[in-house]
Amino acid sequence: MTTLIIAPPPTPNGDLHVGHLAGPYLAGDVYARMLRGEGQGVLYATGTDDSQTYVVTSAAKLNLTPEALCAQAARDIQDTLKLTGVQVDGFAPFDERYRATVLAFLTPLFEQGRFEWRTVTFPYDPVRQEFLVEGLVGGTCPVCLSGSRGGLCEACGHPNNFMELLDPVSTLHPRHPVEGREARILVFPLERYRAQLEAYYARQEGRWRPHILQLVRELLAAPLPDFPVTYPVTWGIPSPYPGTEGQVLNAWVEGMPASMYCSATAGEAGGLSPEQAAALWEDPQARLVYFLGFDNSYFWGVVHLALLMAHGGRFVLPDVIVPNEFYELEHEKFSTSRGHLIWARDLTRDVPRDLARYYLALTCPEHHRTNFSRSALEKLTRERLLDPWAGLQRHFVPDGTGPLPVTPAGQDAARRMAERLRACYALETFSLTRLADTLTQHLQRLHREADEARAQGHAPSGDLWHQLRVLLHLASPLLIDATASLLLDQQQPWTALLDESSVTPFALPPLVPEPALA
């Protein structure tokens, strides 16, 4: 069985900041590394979402063409993933095959009449004679009354379509008047999938994080809106369907084929043929997992899901969606336009990346907004990671003696510890915060027990060495550099360690790399 992990392709209107990293990208990486360590098949993939109108608005502010901005940002994002240790198996390019994959997904739905024609009214700028959708329009969310862009409200997660945004204003030309103007477009009538969506979500109660389930309940309490498949704007993939001349595809309708293309890119990188890779989402044995920001839950959890359902069982449906909330920087929202942010690459330049990953795990916004603070990073990594690690380094020193015996009691303690840590990795109870916390608890416990042994004149026993070895394997998806030299070879799952009856003492690597000798 292969687990297909998707972190949403970021909009290439800039590099990834720490808020992005603390959201889906680190979580997906840690989960993927855990599965790889257990010897399971996994393909973790992402790409870029070039069709978003946000590319157009950001490019205008930077005085770049949208194409140039996309190309630069896609390179930056890929570099940043590498620098932060987010090891994706595939990063899909936005190329001709991408566009072909999108059309191969949508055209059967068009031909089978799954889309319908609607004449709808959109906000319109009469000065520039342009329709305003998505990132091109701002206003007030009709559900929660927060400031919102078109299509979706980041604050409450509810969609808004057509003229639903209150007091619409052009983002790029805020002084221009905005009026309503009709256009005939293709829509995807979500209400047709109500029964399937309700049955699907009845199975997820208690399995997924509560906020996304709350949103879905709120959405299902009213008729589901029509989802616009095409938009009468110019940025995006041109719609090839007769009657939509001059329109483009809504960027959000690309989500599923884009993700399939991401998985396919990962599959091909892993040695699958293009045909095998393209069919990964058609394998009923495959397990599909998304990590994403809560603000995207409506698309991934409703629209995209219904689009998969519209294909009548051809594709696998997501097993678990793991959403995260917003991360704040010093108690204010990350903001690219105000420059209130830390780029992810800068953080890993300033702080050893194991420490950065540990702090982000400890504080990431799993259920509600949480905060990144530079002073808290210093304090928490010192107290909860560096100090206990240094304590272990003092006690656990290989003295050249051979393997030490591990007793059944030592194996038992390692198993109990492993069970608690594995619960942090299991998707239904997935928590990077608990993972970081539990790691610290056991680093401190092993330090304490080694301290007590020393006080009685003993070096750490085989039982303690065994537990330390198991703990470091369970820490390895998060602390990637410090543990790299200790891991079993790729072919052997770490769980094989649990049964070992002897252990050879090893040198515990430093958490902070030693400065290179001049």
102 part of the interface to Zn ion, by CB under 5 A: no
Q: Measured from the CB of residue 45, what is the shortest distance to Zn ion in angstroms? A: 30
- Considering only the stretches 17-25, 156-164, 192-200, 223-231, report the one whose residues sit in contact with Zn ion under the rule CB under 5 A: 156-164
From 7-15, 50-58, 65-73, 155-163, span contacting Zn ion (CB under 5 A): 155-163
User: Nearer Cβ to Zn ion, position 160 or 476?
Assistant: 160
Element (H, E) at 260: helix 255-269
Stretch near Zn ion under the rule CB under 5 A, chosen from 60-68, 152-160, 235-243, 396-404: 152-160
Which CB sits closer to Zn ion, 64 or 156? 156
- Which is closer to Zn ion, CB of 66 or CB of 365? 365
- Residue 305 interacting with Zn ion (CB under 5 A): no
Residue with tokens 């090839």: 240
Per CB under 5 A, 143 contacts Zn ion: yes
Give the one residue of 18, 42, 137, 153 binding Zn ion; rule: CB under 5 A. 153
Q: Least distance in Å: CB of 212 to Zn ion?
A: 15
- Least distance from C-beta 145 to Zn ion, angstroms? 7
Helices 353-363 and 26-37, packing angle to 10 deg: 110
Residue 256: C-alpha distances to residues 260, 274, 426 (Å)? 6, 18, 24
List 321's β-bridge partners, or say none: 290
Q: What is the rounded CA–CA span in Å between residue 418 and residue 7?
A: 27
Task: Output 295 or 354, the one with its CB closest to Zn ion.
Answer: 295
Contact status, residue 381 vs residue 465, Cβ threshold 8 Å? no
Chain length of the chain: 518
Shortest CB 328 distance to Zn ion, Å? 18
Least separation in angstroms between residue 216's CB and Zn ion is 15
Those residues with Cβ within 8 angstroms of residue 463's Cβ, 6 or more apart along the chain or in another chain: 406, 407, 409, 410, 413
Judged by CB under 5 A, the stretch of 75-83, 116-124, 153-161, 284-292 that binds Zn ion is 153-161
496 forms part of the interface with Zn ion (CB under 5 A): no
Choice from 155, 172, 269, 342 touching Zn ion (CB under 5 A):
155
166 lines the binding site for Zn ion (CB under 5 A)? no
Which of 311, 333 has the CB closer to Zn ion?
333
Smaller CB distance to Zn ion: residue 71 or 155? 155
Q: What is the DSSP string of 132-196?
A: --GGGEEEE-TTT--EEESEE-TTT--EE-TT-SEEEEESS-TTS--EEEEEEEEEEEGGGGHHH
Instruction: Indicate the residue type of 511.
Output: L
Contacts with 391 (C-beta within 8 Å, 6 or more apart), sequence order: 447, 450, 451
Q: How far apart are CA 483 and CA 473, in angstroms?
A: 7
- Binding of Zn ion by 141 (CB under 5 A): yes
- Considering the complex, state which of residue 157 and residue 257 has its C-beta at the smaller distance from Zn ion: 157
Q: Which residues pair with 137 in a beta bridge?
A: 170
- At 488 the three-state DSSP class reads coil
Question: What is the distance between the terminal CA atoms of the chain, rounded to a whole angstrom?
Answer: 49
- Residue among 93 and 147 whose Cβ is closer to Zn ion: 147
In this chain, which stretch among 147-155, 360-368, 380-388, 390-398 interacts with Zn ion, using CB under 5 A? Answer: 147-155
Q: Which is nearer to Zn ion, 155 or 498 (CB)?
A: 155
Stretches 107-115, 139-147, 225-233, 292-300: which one binds Zn ion (CB under 5 A)?
139-147
Nearer to Zn ion, 141 or 253 (CB): 141
Applying CB under 5 A, does 156 fall inside the site for Zn ion? yes
Residues 6+ apart with CB under 8 A from 197: 190, 216, 220, 224, 302, 305, 306, 309
Whole-number minimum distance, CB 179 to Zn ion, in Å? 23
> Of 146, 143, 145, 147, nearest to 159 (Cα)?
143
- Contacts of Zn ion in 413-452 (CB under 5 A): none
Asked if 131 and 231 touch (Cβ cutoff 8 Å), the reply is: yes
Stretch near Zn ion under the rule CB under 5 A, chosen from 67-75, 136-144, 339-347, 425-433: 136-144
Dist. CA 237–CA 254, nearest whole Å: 9
Please select the residue that binds Zn ion; options are 100, 144, 166, 397, rule is CB under 5 A: 144
Nearer to Zn ion, 153 or 308 (CB): 153
List interacting residues with Zn ion (CB under 5 A): 141, 143-144, 146, 153, 155-156
